[in-house]
């Protein structure tokens, strides 16, 4: 058949069918329907460029064996739906004539299968080049390109951003030597030489997007850093700050390039928050973006106390408690229906609103507050800290002891020597009796430790026992936000809120605790004195005892510490890095990273040992003596 004959045949097979006369074919092999996004994209493309590929149709045969006047779309259902969407948008009418290819000779299922199976999606690199050409040569914006091709403007910007990637890396991507996630990470910098160097230096097993970003963004601040979140991108950019956007981050992240500027803005904004807190009347307010607990290590803390309820409020509280009990008692098995469960929650919220707490005026005038940032960038206010120099001075401290003119019995006082002798006898007897009463000795121990832990500087105990506490944040920055320190702080705050206001009342408080509570309080106070630090001047015997304690409590450091490039590997020798990988993975893995530069080697070690429960010797369980 000649070309002219074929053209004539093809032309003869072209039919114009009103859109409203086209129907989905029951023999279309696509069972999973097109998504709304796909139909919208196709409608946008048809609106801009017309229908580049015509639907393949055949006449519908009715029950009587005659054509029904409708046509079944064996190939091109997506185009039919896209045109119907355009009708809905009032871009065309329902009677719009659609150019179709009439094919009643071939098997309809085979036609449908051929169109859906024999197809290849456009490679993102080709898509990038096509978009870039339209942007550069035709002056089309990302929004214009998106509208014509039915994709979002964000996708277009992502593809255009790939123009920042080295042609050598783009070629590797085309060959399949890297994936789109890896390629997109390089788009945060336009330094092709640096991109290529990072790719060549990263180990093959750790060329993840995260590893590439970490290597390219050294010295910059991530957009999810507490300071960046607190200051905000807009405020930072308004004063000249530069943000390197990562368009391929679903969260819209990136890096704040000027860390010094960001720190200054964070401090200034936090100071404004501190000024608001100062208006509450506190004696002092300190503002710091990051603050460790050592800052308030030697301070006593006061807490808000319940606000007395008025007569009306007490009456309302009794009603709420009665309503709560009436609902709750209907379900003794605890299986409360959803409706009543919501009712109970509302009552609980109302009760909580009534049970308000507030700091006393005396405490506010005496104490201060810290204004800092939480890990999520939210302002965190810690109130009620009393500095030692601000503690009220008692008369005993203010006045020098004067010799008594008369004793309690109205006679001349005894000599100091005799007083010392008599009280020495009393002390000896007290020690002996205390040893015979372990319950009282235990009570006195808890009292002495709790007194120093929660009432700094108090002398309300006769025991020569004083807990010493080693503060860790000076040795391990950021440790205050670790899981262990978080649990310790929560436990401490819970006990502190229960403490009496005056140290003189502590003995009665401890005496009234349950045995289990006293044990828990003792354990908390003792735990704060544990010191297993290996620093200059440390005591070997004390460290041996720390090992004994670790064995007793079955300490497992893998629950508290994991090796990272920043926290460990970048701070040890390459030999130690290799040794760690050899121990935690294999000798071959250690050999694979041995010749890398140290920063790359550290990142590779972190990736290789992730989830392997490897620990350096210092953190491993101590051997049994």
81-97: average pLDDT = 91
Percent of the chain with pLDDT over 90: 11
* Confidence at residue 108, expressed as pLDDT on a 0 to 100 scale: 59
Joined together, the tokens standing for residue 18 give 């009103």
Percent of the chain with pLDDT over 70: 79
80-94: average pLDDT = 90
247-266: average pLDDT = 74
519-540: average pLDDT = 77
Count Cβ atoms within 10 A of the Cβ of residue 399 and give its class: 0-12 exposed, 13-18 middle, 19 or more buried.
Answer: exposed
* Bridge partners of residue 381, in order along the sequence: 371
pLDDT at 278 over 90: yes
33-52: average pLDDT = 76
pLDDT at 625 over 80: no
**What residue segments make up the domains of the chain, in order of their start?**
13-117, 269-388, 393-530, 531-625
- Phi then psi for residue 412, to 5 deg, are -60, 140
User: What is the tens place of the pLDDT at every residue in 382-431?
Assistant: 898 888 888 887 544 444 445 555 566 567 776 777 777 777 777 676 66
User: Using an 8 Å Cβ cutoff, are 616 and 568 in contact?
Assistant: yes
* Confidence at residue 587, expressed as pLDDT on a 0 to 100 scale: 92
Mean pLDDT of the chain: 79
User: What is the tens place of the pLDDT at every residue in 43-61?
Assistant: 877 876 677 678 889 999 8
507-522: average pLDDT = 90
3-state SS assignment for residue 406: coil
Predicted confidence band of residue 557 (pLDDT cuts 50, 70, 90): confident
Lowest mean pLDDT among 227-231, 391-395, 444-448, 505-509: 391-395
Pick the CATH number of 13-117 from 3.90.1530.10, 3.40.50.300, 3.40.50.1820, 3.40.50.1240: 3.90.1530.10
User: What is the tens place of the pLDDT at every residue in 485-500?
Assistant: 888 888 888 888 888 8
State whether the Cα torsion 568-573-578-579 is positive or negative: negative
362-372: average pLDDT = 91
Per-residue burial over 46-81, b if 16 or more Cβ lie within 10 Å, else e, is bbeeebeebbbbbbbeeeeeeeeebbbbbbbbbbbb
User: What is the tens place of the pLDDT at every residue in 590-603?
Assistant: 998 888 888 888 88
Phi-psi region of 402 (alpha: psi -120 to 50; beta: other; left: phi over 0): beta
Locate the DSSP E strands across 62-123. 67-75, 97-102
Instruction: Give the Cβ contact number of residue 622 at 10 Å.
Output: 14
477 or 327, greater pLDDT: 327
pLDDT at 119 over 60: no
* Confidence at residue 7, expressed as pLDDT on a 0 to 100 scale: 43
Distances (CA, A) of 120 to 42, 78, 124, 475: 16, 16, 12, 58
Angstrom distance (rounded) from CA 301 to CA 390: 12
Predicted confidence band of residue 75 (pLDDT cuts 50, 70, 90): confident
- pTM for this predicted structure: 0.51
Tokens 């580049």 -> residue:
52
125 or 73, greater pLDDT: 73
User: What is the tens place of the pLDDT at every residue in 289-322?
Assistant: 887 666 777 788 888 887 888 888 888 888 888 8
* Confidence at residue 171, expressed as pLDDT on a 0 to 100 scale: 86
189-196: average pLDDT = 81
In terms of average pLDDT, the best of 45-49, 117-121, 195-199, 209-213 is 195-199
């Amino acid at each position: 058949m000649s070309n002219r004959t074929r053209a004539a045949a093809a032309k003869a097979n072209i039919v114009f069918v009103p859109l409203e006369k086209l129907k989905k074919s029951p023999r279309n092999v696509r069972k999973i329907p097109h998504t709304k996004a796909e139909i919208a994209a196709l409608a946008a493309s048809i609106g801009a460029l017309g229908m580049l590929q015509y639907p393949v149709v055949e006449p519908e045969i009715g029950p009587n064996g005659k054509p029904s006047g409708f046509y079944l779309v064996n190939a091109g259902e997506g185009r039919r739906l896209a045109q119907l969407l355009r009708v809905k948008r009032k871009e065309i009418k329902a009677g719009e004539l659609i150019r179709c290819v009439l094919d009643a000779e071939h098997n309809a299922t085979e036609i449908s299968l051929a169109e859906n199976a024999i197809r290849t999606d456009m490679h993102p690199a080709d898509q990038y080049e096509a978009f870039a050409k339209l942007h550069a040569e035709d002056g089309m914006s990302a929004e214009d390109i998106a509208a014509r091709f039915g994709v979002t403007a964000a996708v277009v910007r992502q593809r255009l951003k790939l123009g920042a990637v080295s042609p050598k890396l783009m070629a590797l991507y085309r060959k399949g030597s890297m994936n789109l996630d890896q390629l997109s990470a390089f788009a945060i910098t336009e330094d092709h030489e640096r991109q290529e160097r990072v790719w060549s230096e990263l180990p093959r097993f750790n060329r993840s997007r995260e590893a590439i970003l970490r290597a390219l963004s050294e010295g910059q601040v991530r957009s999810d850093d507490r300071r960046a979140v607190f200051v905000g991108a807009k405020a930072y950019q308004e004063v000249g700050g530069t943000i390197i956007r990562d368009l391929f981050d679903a969260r819209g992240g990136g890096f704040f390039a000027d860390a010094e500027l960001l720190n200054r803005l964070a401090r200034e904004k936090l100071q404004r928050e501190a000024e608001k807190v100062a208006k509450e009347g506190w004696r002092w307010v300190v503002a710091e973006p990051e603050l460790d607990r050592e800052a308030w290590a030697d301070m006593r803390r006061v807490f808000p106390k319940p606000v007395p309820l008025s007569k009306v409020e007490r009456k309302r509280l009794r009603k709420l408690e009665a309503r709560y009990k009436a609902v709750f008692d209907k379900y003794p098995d605890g299986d409360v229906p959803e409706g009543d469960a919501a009712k109970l929650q509302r009552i609980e919220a109302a009760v909580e609103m009534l049970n308000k707490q507030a700091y006393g005026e005396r405490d506010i005038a005496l104490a201060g507050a810290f204004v800092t940032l939480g890990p999520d960038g939210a302002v965190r206010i810690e109130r009620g800290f009393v500095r030692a120099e601000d503690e009220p001075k008692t008369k005993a401290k203010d006045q020098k002891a004067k010799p008594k003119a008369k004793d309690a019995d109205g006679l001349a006082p005894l000599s100091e020597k005799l007083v010392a002798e008599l009280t020495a006898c009393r002390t000896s007897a007290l020690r002996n009796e205390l040893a015979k009463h372990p319950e009282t000795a235990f009570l006195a121990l808890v009292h002495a430790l709790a007194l120093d832990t929660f009432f700094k500087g108090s002398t309300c105990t006769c025991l020569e026992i004083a807990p010493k506490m080693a503060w860790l944040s000076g040795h391990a920055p950021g440790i205050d936000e670790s899981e262990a320190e978080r649990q310790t702080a929560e436990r401490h705050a819970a006990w502190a809120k229960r403490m009496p206001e005056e140290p003189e009342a502590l003995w009665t408080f401890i005496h009234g605790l349950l045995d289990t509570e006293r044990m828990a309080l003792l354990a908390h106070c003792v735990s704060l004195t544990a010191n297993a630090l290996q620093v200059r001047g440390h005591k070997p015997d004390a460290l041996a005892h720390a090992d004994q304690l670790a064995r007793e409590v079955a300490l497992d450091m893998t629950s508290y510490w994991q090796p990272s490039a920043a926290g460990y590997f970048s701070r040890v020798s390459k030999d130690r890095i290799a040794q760690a990988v050899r121990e935690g993975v294999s000798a071959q893995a250690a050999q694979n990273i041995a010749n890398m530069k140290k920063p790359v080697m550290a990142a590779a070690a972190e990736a290789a040992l992730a989830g392997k429960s490897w620990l350096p010797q210092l953190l491993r369980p101590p051997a049994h003596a």
